[in-house]
Amino acid sequence: VTGSISFAQKSNTTAIDVASLSVILEKNKHYYKEGVVADYIPELGKVNPAAIAFAIVDSNGKLISVGDRDHKFTMQSVSKIIALMLAVMENGEKSVFEKIGYYGTDRPFNHFANLETMGKPLNPMMNAGAILTTSMISGQEDKPFIKILEMIRYITNNPSITYSQAVYQSEKETGHRNRGMFYLIKNTGAITGSEDQLNNYFRQCSIELTTEDLAKIGYFFANECRRYDGDNRYENKSLAKLILSQMLIAGMYEFSGEYARTVGLPSKSGVGGGIVVSVPHCMGIGVFSPALDNHGNSLAGYHMILDLANEYGLSIF
């Protein structure tokens, strides 16, 4: 029983086709000129700033995409929702959220001052929270990372997904701030393992996928952890609700409030330029354009989502 709002959305969204996505993409692609490609991880700075793609998986599980649909990019912070999923599946929500808050944020993704004041990360979408979440997935060395990768391969039904060694090395060599957070959390006792656990966070950020893969991930969490092709082996309504709520309050970092007002959909961005969006009980959206706004969210990506949400009345509010 999903209520009348989502029923209206479902009947409406089946009208979205290649032509409607193309119009929105063409209208908004210029925004890349106003954004900045992330280069604080040197390997990320090598991307073509004009690359752009837009994909949806509609309420029937049908995939539609336009633009550079085969272009692969690193998922970066989008991986945090998969790490949260696995940490909660293995440890239970209560145990995970004893160590991490449910708080929203007015701070950038790499903020960690509250580790000192509250003694725990604000939420699992910020780097500090995500580093801790990944450390809660069981297994030695890179096993927790392999579980994240396998889950992404499952959700996208795309066994060819892997990670970029070059981006991983680059993240590892330049991630001093993340390393600092790892040791601050270790100092509280919430992390007990070795730096392998931090390396798994760097690896998950370096997983490469396409905009179509993002749309499938969006569909999965929109539909109680059921895959776009109907496979339901991980179906879990409560877990999907938890993840969607975290995406809504913190998925776009300190822009989340304004984003909730303008778009009104649970979403998660990554500095690689991807954003995954879930339209609850309905469909998934994936966008990619590597030039970012000053919060670390794809600028053209945001505008494509905004137009689609407005045109089809997708806001949950």
Q: Which residues carry out catalysis?
A: 77, 80, 201, 253, 271
Q: Which amino acid is at 103?
A: Y
Check: CB of residue 208 under 8 Å from CB of residue 74: yes
Decide: is 105 part of the binding site for ligand DON (CB under 6 A).
no
**Which lies closer to ligand DON via its Cβ, residue 59 or residue 134?**
134
The phi and psi torsions of 162 (rounded to 5 degrees) equal: -145, -165
Decide: is 288 part of the binding site for ligand DON (CB under 6 A).
no
Decide: is 270 part of the binding site for ligand DON (CB under 6 A).
yes
Decide: is 293 part of the binding site for ligand DON (CB under 6 A).
no
Q: Is 77 assigned to a binding site?
A: yes
Check: CB of residue 50 under 8 Å from CB of residue 173: no
72 CB-near residues (< 8 Å, 6+ apart): 208, 209, 210
Which H/E stretch holds residue 207?
strand 207-209
Stretch that binds ligand DON, among 111-119, 150-158, 228-236, 269-277 (CB under 6 A): 269-277
Only one residue has tokens 């330049």, namely: 174
Number of residues that bind ligand DON (CB under 6 A): 12
Decide: is 76 part of the binding site for ligand DON (CB under 6 A).
yes
Decide: is 127 part of the binding site for ligand DON (CB under 6 A).
yes
Stretch that binds ligand DON, among 54-62, 228-236, 242-250, 263-271 (CB under 6 A): 263-271
Q: Is 271 assigned to a binding site?
A: yes
The three-state secondary structure class of 288 is strand
Q: Kindly state the smallest distance separating residue 68's Cβ from ligand DON, in Å.
A: 20
Q: Is 195 assigned to a binding site?
A: no
Decide: is 205 part of the binding site for ligand DON (CB under 6 A).
yes
Q: Kindly state the smallest distance separating residue 303's Cβ from ligand DON, in Å.
A: 16
C-beta neighbour count of 307 within 10 angstroms = 18
195 CB-near residues (< 8 Å, 6+ apart): 179, 182
Decide: is 124 part of the binding site for ligand DON (CB under 6 A).
no
Decide: is 197 part of the binding site for ligand DON (CB under 6 A).
no
Decide: is 84 part of the binding site for ligand DON (CB under 6 A).
no
Q: Is 201 assigned to a binding site?
A: yes
Decide: is 271 part of the binding site for ligand DON (CB under 6 A).
yes
Q: Kindly state the smallest distance separating residue 202's Cβ from ligand DON, in Å.
A: 7
Closest by CA position to 51, among listed 77, 70, 65, 75: 70
Structure tokens at 244: 């969607």
Put residue 224 in one of left, alpha, beta given phi > 0 → left and psi -120 to 50 → alpha. Answer: left
Q: Is 302 assigned to a binding site?
A: no
Q: Kindly state the smallest distance separating residue 314's Cβ from ligand DON, in Å.
A: 22
**Which lies closer to ligand DON via its Cβ, residue 127 or residue 156?**
127
Q: Is 36 assigned to a binding site?
A: no
Decide: is 171 part of the binding site for ligand DON (CB under 6 A).
yes
Cα dihedral across residues 119, 102, 107, 85: positive or negative? positive
Check: CB of residue 297 under 8 Å from CB of residue 252: yes
Q: Is 138 assigned to a binding site?
A: no
Closest by CA position to 283, among listed 4, 3, 12: 12
Cα dihedral across residues 63, 64, 69, 75: positive or negative? negative
Decide: is 256 part of the binding site for ligand DON (CB under 6 A).
no
Q: Which residues pair with 56 in a beta bridge?
A: 64, 285
Q: Which residues are annotated as a binding site for substrate?
A: 77, 127, 171, 178, 201, 253, 271
Contact residues toward ligand DON (CB under 6 A) are: 76-77, 109-110, 127, 171, 178, 205, 269-271, 296
